[in-house]
Amino acid sequence: MSVALAQSVSVLPSGEGWWFEPKLDGHRTVLWREEGGVRLQSRAGRDVTSAWADLARAALRLPVGSVVDGEAVIYVDGRIDFSAAQGRAASSPARAARLAARWPASFAAWDLLSHPDAGDVRARPYVERRALLLEVLEGLGPPLQVVPATDDREVALVWHELLREQGVEGLVAKQALSTYRPSRIWRKLRHAETVDAAVVGYTGPPRRPRTLAVRLPDGRTVLSRAVSAPVATEAAARLATAGPGQTARTDSDQSYTAVETGLLAEVLAGTTRHATVTVARLR
């Protein structure tokens, strides 16, 4: 199932009809409660149930037919830790189980795509979907929780400042009457100084890419610095299905293998003036 996405903005939207939610810093996950079990899907469409088995077990309490969109997050010392979530997502089932024993995951739910009685609700307005989400998760408690939401922009801005120390990435703004569709229908205001860049290729072997070729918002194509092990593992999963690539060159004449990945990378904004960039994470 394709997921809705958010466009980064530098100012929180204002005016009638906007709702605001905290953006927790974790791994985007769609949770399916099916007959006989639970399935978790990454933003890229991969089955990640084994990496988040503790959430899958907790989600057995959901009514069959529920499909929930949200974020798998991990708290370390009372603070949301993206590195811990990234490490879990890239782990084997055995290692993920060991990590879960030390740092259990939580699921921050923010949208309902299918209701056990109403069926597919993606065509309904956001405010209706949220009401149904609250109904489905009512009484379940941690680790499955609905993110808070407000239609008061001033309250949202207070959240933006006060929740930063807890590891909250920023805010997401959604139109009250908007349907759920696979495009950049939301707006995201981040604390981090990052920009979104399209991943258009790599260097090194596809099973263990050394760097990623990214197309920056200004149109330049550059190579990243060496990516971290979790980023390499996540990228490799997508490269495995991208098919054979072609040799291409960046704007600074560096060679790379060009492929269509459909991936976005968060790139540290302070590095984009230079020939290489730093990939903070994949989206």
Q: Which residues are catalytic?
A: 23
Strands (E), the chain: 5-8, 18-24, 27-34, 37-42, 67-76, 79-80, 105-115, 119-120, 144-146, 168-175, 184-190, 194-203, 211-215, 221-224, 246-249, 255-258, 264-268, 276-277, 279-282
For residue range 132-166, what is the model confidence (pLDDT) as tens digits? 999 999 989 899 999 999 999 999 999 998 888 78
pLDDT beyond 70 at 193: no
**Amino acid identity, position 260:** E
Label the pairing between strands 79-80 and 67-76.
Answer: antiparallel
Facing residues of 67 across strands? 32, 114
Q: What secondary structure letter does DSSP report for 179? A: P
Contact 121, 45 (CB under 8 A): no
Contact 23, 34 (CB under 8 A): no
Rg (CA), the chain: 19
pLDDT confidence bin for 102, thresholds 50/70/90 = very high
Question: How much is the mean pLDDT over the chain?
Answer: 89
Of 44-53, 136-145, 194-203, 265-274, which range is least confident?
265-274
For residue range 30-84, what is the model confidence (pLDDT) as tens digits? 999 999 999 999 887 889 999 999 999 999 999 999 999 999 999 998 888 887 8
pTM: 0.73
Facing residues of 257 across strands? 202, 247
CA distance 186 to 129: 15
Residues 6 or more apart in contact with residue 120 via CB below 8 angstroms: 113, 114
Q: What secondary structure letter does DSSP report for 275? A: S
Label the pairing between strands 194-203 and 168-175.
Answer: unpaired
Give me the residue label for tokens 């959901």: 62
CA distance 121 to 144: 20
